[in-house]
Amino acid sequence: MDAYDLISRNADELVTEEEVRDLAADPEGKRAYVGYEPSGVLHIGHMLTANKLIDLQEAGFEVVILLADVHAYLNDKGTFEEIRDTAERMKEQFIAYGLDEENTEFRFGSEFQMDDDYVLDLHSLELETTLNRASRAMSEIQSGESTKVSQAVYPLMQALDIEYLDLDLAIGGMEQRKVHMLARDTLPSIGYDAPTCIHTPLIADLGSGEGKMSSSKGVTISMEDSTEDIEDKVNSAFCPPTRDPEGDLENPVLQIFEYHVFPRFQQVVVERPDKYGGNLEYDDYHSLEDDLESGELHPADAKSALSSYLDDLIAPGREKIQQAE
């Protein structure tokens, strides 16, 4: 797979495709990042963007993970001491999940976000941005029902982080799109380049196929889950045998296969007794999806295989958590 295919696979949006192709033409030494609030254990949302970072490392990029302690504080996620303790544990989990430690740079926001130049640039962005625009940018990721002033500043800091971390590419889930568009609109107004961005999909709610899977409500999958937890959650997941003709619902089981399993395993084997046709082997996601649609692959067998592969991905991070306790 060439650099462009690695960089762009399983992305919902490239902003812009031309800019991404330019980066793919010479990726060595280029820097890409994702920012994460250190607000808890790694869950499937973190893992999806981490898969994209692994793709980028394979393509030749240097990867930066911003452990956004100041952002987490502004979003009311605890004291700095609590946030820093969580961040240190998350660092180990990211490496356990599969990121190349030698090519992964971890940074804390507090290392540079208190500096005079950063603060003055932040004030310059504030002068360029209406409160309504900042609130809209934060609407997909804020906690609580009403926006606080601290949360309105949050997306402006995300924009500025891209410049101060000397990045070539910003990665985020689709819930980050409004923040990245704000960055592209406002950074040039204070003399910086508009960032190139890649947006990854959101996994649908595990139980219904609606909306997005969330660690704050409903059922999610995390590195704290035991083998039994994963099996129970996946077995109860929404997995219709045919596609939704209206297009309103997603199949989270298929989404996890597409965005988590196939990027990390060259082949997926669905084990079945001989009396039910024996094992099925898949070298690509679409073959598995087609077999589910045709009835060749039963949802229960798909779920059983998914539980096993997810457990393989999560086990190293789960062991890190257990060792730390």
> Is 215 known to sit in a ligand binding site?
yes
Q: Which of 117, 70, 64 is nearest to 91 (CA)?
A: 64
H or E element that contains 76: none
Sign of CA pseudo-dihedral 148, 154, 155, 160: positive
State the Cα–Cα distance between residues 87 and 85, nearest whole angstrom: 5
- The values of phi and psi at residue 147, to 5°, are -85, 125
User: Is the separation of the CB atoms in 214 and 220 below 8 Å?
Assistant: yes
**93 annotated to bind ligand:** no
**Annotated binding residue at 164?**
no
Cα–Cα distance for residue pair 162/159, rounded to 1 Å:
6
Check the annotation: does 308 bind a ligand: no
Question: Amino acid letter at 243?
Answer: R
Pairing of strands 280-282, 268-270: antiparallel
| Token output for 152 | 């309105």
DSSP assignment of 182-240 equals: HHHHHGGGGT-PPPPEEEE--PPPTTTSSS---SSSS---BTT--HHHHHHHHHTS---
Closest CA to 54 of 262, 230, 196, 204: 262
Distance CA 266, CA 263 (A): 8
Q: Any binding-site annotation on 154?
A: yes
Give bridge partners of residue 13 from the DSSP assignment: 199
| Closest by CA position to 178, among listed 130, 150, 141, 145 | 141
Q: Which helix (H) or strand (E) holds 36?
A: strand 31-36
DSSP class per residue in 148-192: -HHHHHHHHHHHHHHHHTT-SEEEEEGGGHHHHHHHHHHGGGGT-
Please check if 309 is assigned to a binding site: no
Q: Which residues are known binding-site members?
A: 33, 154, 158, 161, 176, 215
- Binding site residues for ATP, as ranges? 215
Q: Residues at the annotated binding site for L-tyrosine?
A: 33, 154, 158, 161, 176
